[in-house]
Amino acid sequence: MSTPRVAIDDLTKYYGQTLVLDEVFLDVDEHEVVCLIGASGSGKSTLLRCINQLVPFDHGEIRIDGVAIDDPSFGKTGLRKRIGIVFQAYNLFPHLKVIDNVTLAPRKVHGVTKPDAEARAHELLGLLGMEEFARKYPEQLSGGQQQRVAIVRALATNPDVLLLDEITAALDPELIGGVLDVIRDLKAQGMTMMIVTHEMGFARDVADRVCFLEEGRILEESPPQELFSDPQHPSTRRFLQRIIEAGRL
Amino acid sequence: MSSERAASAEPARRAGPRPPVKATLSPRERYAPLAISVVSTALVFGLLWRVITSSENWPLIQRQFFDVDAMRASLPQVFSGFLVNMMVWVIALVVIAVLGIVVAIFRSLTGPWAAPLRVFAVIYIDLLRGTPSILLVLLFGLGVPALQIPGMTTSRLFWGSVALVLGYTAYTSEVYRSGIEAVPDGQRAAAKALGLTQWQTLRFSILPQAVRNVIPALLNLAVALQKDVALLSVIGAREAVREAQIFTARTFNFSSYIVATVLFLLATIPMARFTDWVTKRDQERRLQRTL
């Protein structure tokens, strides 16, 4: 058996006295797409943020290709290069043009020359249909366009794993489709992704595996066809029932 | 990847505003408000002028404050003093802008190793912001030259200016800090996720946004400093107010003060208007962003 790309082992995290992740185990293989679903506050986003060390955790271990993320061999920036993340609120730098948003980390963190970084950025922007906006500022773009720039920014360092944290939750409904298409294309190209989402249709469509979280635990973990049509855990059933009643599935 | 699909997912925005609906107003409706404004304003101010100039003390006031000959005689002296004000103001602005940001950075650093810098910043701001400017000017402007430290200038103008710089640096750093804190947390998260160090995050993400946030507040401080340079007169620095004072002491006529007043107003009013304009533009920009 090969080493999983991302291995999460017995991960436990508290915010103060509140237990947000409770002995989470999860392996994600190369080229695999795993969707994390569950109610707000179930620990999905925190799990993603633990993986690229945006928040510390209290117990357990996370390994990338078998190497713990706090291993000195990653250096100061190695982990950042391997893992890209896209946020719900885009978090683009508003004072920088699109091209500079995308090239900032390659140039300042990873020492790529300006021409090389810009060439790569233009290539990625082109792939996502954003080439014409390279010289614009984020506030001149629609939400969907900004989110695509954020995806390009996360891809600019050629990461091995892409973390997507509710990337369509802040978008107007008519803009969601365009962003999700980009993710489908990334899957087709073999990108390893962990996706926190409330778009159940999208999760069913794109995921190789879906994990249902509640109160910091993964209660159920199975291929989307099984999880959505025949959920085993009563909590999963309740959650999906509410989603269906809200007309989201 | 399918760029066409992605690009066509969002419809292009409709270009250009709709033409305004043209209102049809009669000449009377159109010009009456303007006429009323002009006439009523002229009436009120005319009346006020009349009351003031008809008072029995008016000739005395006019002689003491608005003596054209005295004004003309004092102008060269007061104006050369005013150039000193402007020089001190400009140099101080540059130094304060830099020092203020340094203190603000000290104060917003995190981590145990930065603790001395944080504590220094807090004490500095508390002390300097809590002391009246005039006391600082007296302490530095008179106190330091009195020490007669070898190799250090004994210029009162210099040390008085240092006092202003130190005091205003405290105010300015607090303004910068409010700007730093107003930058959303998501910016730090994004910078960290991209691998930027704490310093790179400040330099490339936080500070540029913070400074832009507080430009109107900084300009307000600049206007206040423009006037506070006059405090240097208390330590005998030959700036505009001091020159006017000298003239008055010699002639017992206060017109030189009016000359100094006019010079200050000529400098501060445009500056204040500019600040208002920048503030308004800034507000519109923010409003647009939230739409």
B109-159, pLDDT tens digit by residue? Answer: 888 888 999 999 999 999 999 999 999 999 999 999 999 888 888 899 999
Backbone φ, ψ for residue A37 (5° rounding) = -125, 165
Is A97 in the B-facing interface, judged by CB distances under 8 Å?
no
Residue A188's pLDDT is 94
Interchain CB distance below 8 Å, B194 and A109: yes
Q: What is the enclosing helix (H) or strand (E) of A187?
A: helix A173-188
Task: Give the pLDDT of residue B121.
Answer: 95
Average pLDDT over residues A56-60: 94
Q: Which residues of B fall within a CB distance of 8 Å from A177?
A: 9
d(CA A99, CA A242): 42
* CA pair distance A82, A191, nearest whole angstrom: 12
Provide the sign of the torsion angle of the four alpha carbons A65, A66, A70, A73, taken in this order. Answer: negative
Residue B64 within any structural domain of the chain:
no
pLDDT at B9 over 90: no
Q: Which residues of B touch A85 (CB under 8 A)?
A: 193
Residue B21 amino acid letter: V
Question: Which residues fall within 8 angstroms of residue A1, CB to CB, at 6 or more apart?
Answer: none
Pairing of strands A217-222, A209-214: antiparallel
Residue B44 lies in a domain: no
Q: Report yes or no on B42 lying in a domain.
A: no
Q: What is the residue range of B110's domain?
A: 74-290
Residue B2 has pLDDT above 50, yes or no: no
Q: Evaluate whether residue B47 is within a structural domain.
A: no
Q: Is the pLDDT reported for residue B11 higher than 70?
A: no
The confidence band for B1, taking pLDDT boundaries of 50, 70 and 90, is very low
- Pick from A62-66, A104-108, B72-76, B281-285: least confident: B281-285
For residue A54, give Cα distances in angstroms to A46, A104, A162, B112, B192. Answer: 9, 19, 14, 19, 7
Write out the two tokens for A36: 């994390």
Q: Is the CB of residue A11 less than 8 Å from the CB of residue A24?
A: yes
- Whether residue A121 lies within 8 A of chain B, CB to CB, comes out as no
> Edge-to-edge, what's the strand order for the sheet holding A6-15?
A18-28, A6-15, A59-64, A67-68
Cα–Cα distances in angstroms (integers) from residue A45 to residues A20, A197, B9, in the given order: 10, 10, 27
| Residue B12: pLDDT band with limits 50, 70, 90 | very low
In a domain, B130, yes or no: yes
Which pair of tokens denotes residue A196?
Answer: 């926190």
pLDDT in tens, B173-214: 999 999 999 999 999 999 999 999 888 999 999 999 999 889
Which residue in chain B is spatially nearest to A176 when comparing CA positions?
Answer: B9
pLDDT digits (tens, 9 = 90+) for B229-284: 999 999 988 999 999 999 999 988 899 999 999 999 999 999 989 989 988 888 88
Determine the pLDDT at residue B22: 64
Q: What is the pLDDT of residue A175?
A: 87
Residue window 190-219, chain A: list those with CB within 8 Å of chain B: none
* Cβ proximity of B185 and A91 under 8 Å: no
Percent of chain B scoring above 70 in pLDDT: 91
Domains held by chain B: number: 1
Domains of chain A (ranges; CATH) run 6-245 (3.40.50.300)
pLDDT value at A38 more than 60:
yes
- Give domain status of residue B66, yes or no: no
Binning pLDDT at 50, 70 and 90, where does residue B4 land? very low
DSSP secondary structure letter of residue B139: I
Q: Has residue B7 got a pLDDT over 80?
A: no
At B15 the pLDDT is: 55
Q: Identify the band that residue B5 occupies on the pLDDT scale cut at 50, 70 and 90.
A: very low
Nearest to B208 among A95, A127, A144 (CB): A95
State how beta strands A67-68 and A33-37 pair. unpaired
Q: Does B286 touch chain A (CB under 8 A)?
A: no
Residue B113: left (phi > 0), alpha (psi -120 to 50), or beta?
Answer: alpha
| CATH number of the domain enclosing B267 | 1.10.3720.10
Inside any domain, residue B148: yes
The answer to whether A98 faces chain B, any CB pair under 8 Å, is no
Compute the distance between CA of residue A164 and CA of residue A176 in angstroms, rounded to an integer.
Answer: 14
A109 in contact with chain B, both atoms CB, cutoff 8 A? yes
